[in-house]
């Protein structure tokens, strides 16, 4: 009997759970913090650590990390692809555009698009990249190349419409409307190549005609008919002023801008820069999303570090003055220079003999704006002087300082 009792040996010391773990109360649902581990006792003795993070949560965090990493500059270009219209590569400089994109390590795809001579962009999903899938998202940007003759014809049509001509041909506005009808929701940008070259040729032709007219007159030839022909001919020519008028009208009515380039090489460089901007757009939007609509990441809005010696207190005092409405940095600097601490300002108030004197004590402090010979001076003024006085001396917590709003 003793042998039978002795055969049931107690568990070893190593297998027993720690006494502190047994004395702790069992956690209730939702009481454990995120990321913490809850010990549980197994039937045979010992402790099993159970992680509160589920498999789905860890997978979600992993995917989120991959998405954020894919948005960073230097990584985002791996997920972007430029889609070139087939008609664009048939132009004189279409190959230079694709070469510039490929030189910048951007993926290029040639497809027929709804708008001829256009460039669009696609972004590959991060999970599709990992799983070798084909999930692409269309970017909202659209870049369209207008031919020089096509562009000048649209400007000429606008010029004729502005004069009240009944003939209706396509203008820049009607072209933009037609593009947005085909591809709604896109952010459109237009480009034209060699416009300046056209203006140079136009100036050379005008100069040549002027010289020819002078020679004809010197030879005694009848220049009347010749002049009439030259008046009709320039009517079809587009001047720089005509182009500017059409562009202003286009921007005011459609908010679409047109960018000019001297050469196809410049257009290729612009396409590469445009692609980089499209690729980095989500990262920049995330940086600008601070989470607080009232938070400004300006230098003067950041906190001031004050060490044990008191260095930085003067800047804190200046920031406090600058928090008043309609107070610039120059005005705050002028007040702080005259009274380097709030205590000195309160002591100066106590020496005044009347309430009106206290309110106007800071009014005549000079404020310098600018440097050098262009520097100007003004005063702090009675309004700010009164507001600072009330803020420093009033005991009413509900007092409204800025009466003028």
Residue range 34-58, pLDDT digits in tens: 444 445 444 444 444 445 557 888 7
pLDDT above 50: residue 234: no
Q: Name the residue with higher pLDDT: 339 or 224.
A: 339
pLDDT of residue 223: 47
Cα–Cα distance measured from residue 269 to residue 266, given in angstroms and rounded to the nearest whole number: 5
pLDDT above 60: residue 319: yes
Confidence of residue 358 (pLDDT cuts 50, 70, 90): very high
Structure tokens of 267?
């257009």
Cα–Cα distance measured from residue 234 to residue 236, given in angstroms and rounded to the nearest whole number: 5
**Which of 56-60, 105-109, 156-160 has the lowest average pLDDT?**
56-60
Q: What per-residue string of b and e applies to 241-250 under the rule 16 or more CB within 10 Å gives b?
A: ebbeebbebb
pLDDT above 50: residue 5: no
Q: What is the mean pLDDT of residues 100-129?
A: 87
CB-based contacts of 11, cutoff 8 Å, min separation 6: 44, 45
Give how far Cα 22 sits from Cα of 29, 41, 46, 234, Å: 19, 8, 10, 100
pLDDT tens across 17-30, in order? Answer: 554 554 555 554 44
Query: How big, in percent rounded to 5, are the helix, strand and coil portions of the chain?
Result: 50, 15, 35
pLDDT of residue 241: 92
Cα–Cα distance measured from residue 140 to residue 184, given in angstroms and rounded to the nearest whole number: 9
pLDDT of residue 25: 54
Structure tokens of 15?
């297998």
pLDDT of residue 179: 95
Q: Name the residue with higher pLDDT: 239 or 21.
A: 239
Predicted TM-score (pTM) above 0.75: no
pLDDT tens across 125-154, in order? Answer: 776 444 555 688 899 999 999 999 999 999
pLDDT tens across 264-314, in order? Answer: 999 999 999 999 999 888 888 877 765 555 555 455 556 778 888 888 899
**Proportion of the chain above pLDDT 70, given as a percent:** 74
Which element (helix H / strand E) includes 126? helix 126-130
**If you search the block for the tokens 């048939």, which residue do you land on?**
90
Q: What is the mean pLDDT of residues 256-266?
A: 93
Q: Name the residue with higher pLDDT: 401 or 33.
A: 401
Structure tokens of 130?
């990992």
Q: What is the mean pLDDT of residues 342-356?
A: 93
Q: Name the residue with higher pLDDT: 55 or 255.
A: 255
Q: Name the residue with higher pLDDT: 236 or 136.
A: 136
Q: What's 304's DSSP letter?
A: -
Region of residue 194 (phi > 0: left; psi between -120 and 50: alpha; otherwise: beta): left
**Proportion of the chain above pLDDT 90, given as a percent:** 42
Q: What does the DSSP assignment read for 350-400?
A: HT-SSHHHHHTTTTT-EEEESSGGG-EEEE--HHHHHHHHHHHH---TT--
Give how far Cα 270 sits from Cα of 100, 188, 273, 326, Å: 9, 15, 5, 42
Cα–Cα distance measured from residue 262 to residue 260, given in angstroms and rounded to the nearest whole number: 7
Confidence of residue 335 (pLDDT cuts 50, 70, 90): very high
Contact yes or no for 375/328 (Cβ under 8 A): no
Going along the chain from its start, the domains and CATH numbers come out as: 69-218+230-288 (3.40.50.10130), 299-393 (1.10.150.670)
Which range scores top for mean pLDDT: 164-168, 182-186, 325-329? 182-186
Q: Tell me the chain's radius of gyration from C-alpha atoms.
A: 37
Structure tokens of 279?
């690729």
Contact yes or no for 388/362 (Cβ under 8 A): yes
Confidence of residue 2 (pLDDT cuts 50, 70, 90): very low
**Which of 8-12, 173-177, 325-329 has the lowest average pLDDT?**
8-12
Confidence of residue 155 (pLDDT cuts 50, 70, 90): very high
Alpha helices in 13-123 (DSSP H): 19-23, 55-71, 86-89, 94-103
Cα–Cα distance measured from residue 327 to residue 179, given in angstroms and rounded to the nearest whole number: 48
Cα–Cα distance measured from residue 129 to residue 132, given in angstroms and rounded to the nearest whole number: 5
Q: Name the residue with higher pLDDT: 229 or 157.
A: 157
Which element (helix H / strand E) includes 175? helix 172-182
Cα–Cα distance measured from residue 276 to residue 16, given in angstroms and rounded to the nearest whole number: 62
pLDDT of residue 232: 39
Confidence of residue 236 (pLDDT cuts 50, 70, 90): low
Own/partner pairs, 251-254, CB within 8 angstroms, 24+ separation: 253/173, 254/173, 254/176, 254/177
pLDDT tens across 72-83, in order? Answer: 777 788 889 999
Q: What's 302's DSSP letter?
A: S
Cα–Cα distance measured from residue 80 to residue 265, given in angstroms and rounded to the nearest whole number: 22
């Amino acid at each position: 009997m003793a042998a039978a009792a002795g055969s049931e040996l107690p568990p070893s010391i190593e297998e027993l759970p720690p006494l502190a773990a047994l004395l702790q109360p069992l956690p209730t649902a939702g009481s454990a913090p995120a990321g913490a581990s809850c010990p549980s006792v197994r039937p045979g003795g010992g402790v099993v650590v159970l992680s509160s993070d589920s498999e789905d949560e860890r997978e979600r965090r992993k995917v989120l990390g991959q998405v954020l990493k894919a948005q960073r500059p230097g990584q985002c270009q791996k997920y972007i692809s430029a889609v070139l219209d087939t008609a664009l590569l048939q132009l004189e400089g279409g190959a230079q555009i694709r070469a510039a994109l490929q030189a910048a390590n951007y993926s290029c795809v040639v497809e027929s698009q709804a708008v001829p001579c256009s460039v669009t962009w696609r972004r590959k999903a991060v999970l599709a990249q990992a799983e070798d899938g084909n999930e692409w998202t269309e970017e909202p940007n659209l870049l369209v190349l207008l031919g020089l003759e096509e562009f000048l014809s649209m400007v000429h049509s606008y010029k004729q419409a502005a004069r009240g001509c009944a003939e209706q041909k396509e203008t820049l506005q009607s072209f933009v409307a037609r593009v947005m009808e085909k591809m709604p929701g896109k952010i459109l940008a237009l480009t034209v190549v060699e416009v300046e070259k056209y203006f140079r040729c136009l100036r050379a032709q005008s100069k040549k005609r002027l010289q020819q007219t002078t020679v004809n007159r010197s030879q005694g030839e009848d220049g009347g008919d010749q002049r009439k022909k030259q008046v009709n001919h320039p009517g079809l020519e587009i001047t720089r002023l005509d182009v500017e008028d059409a562009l202003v009208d286009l921007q005011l009515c459609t908010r679409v801008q047109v960018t000019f380039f001297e050469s196809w090489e410049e257009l290729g460089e612009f396409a590469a820069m445009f692609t980089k901007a499209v690729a980095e757009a989500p990262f920049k939007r995330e940086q600008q999303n601070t989470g607080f609509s009232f938070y400004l990441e300006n230098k003067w809005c950041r906190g001031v570090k004050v060490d044990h010696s008191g260095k930085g207190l003067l800047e804190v005092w200046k920031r406090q003055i600058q928090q008043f409405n309609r107070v610039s940095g120059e005005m705050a600097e002028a007040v702080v220079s005259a009274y380097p601490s709030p205590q000195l300002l309160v002591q100066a108030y106590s020496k005044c003999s009347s309430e009106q004197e206290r309110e106007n004590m800071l009014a005549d402090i000079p404020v310098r704006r600018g440097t050098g010979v262009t520097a100007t001076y003004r005063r702090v003024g009675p309004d700010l002087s009164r507001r600072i006085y009330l803020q420093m001396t009033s005991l009413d917590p509900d007092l409204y300082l800025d009466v003028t709003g």
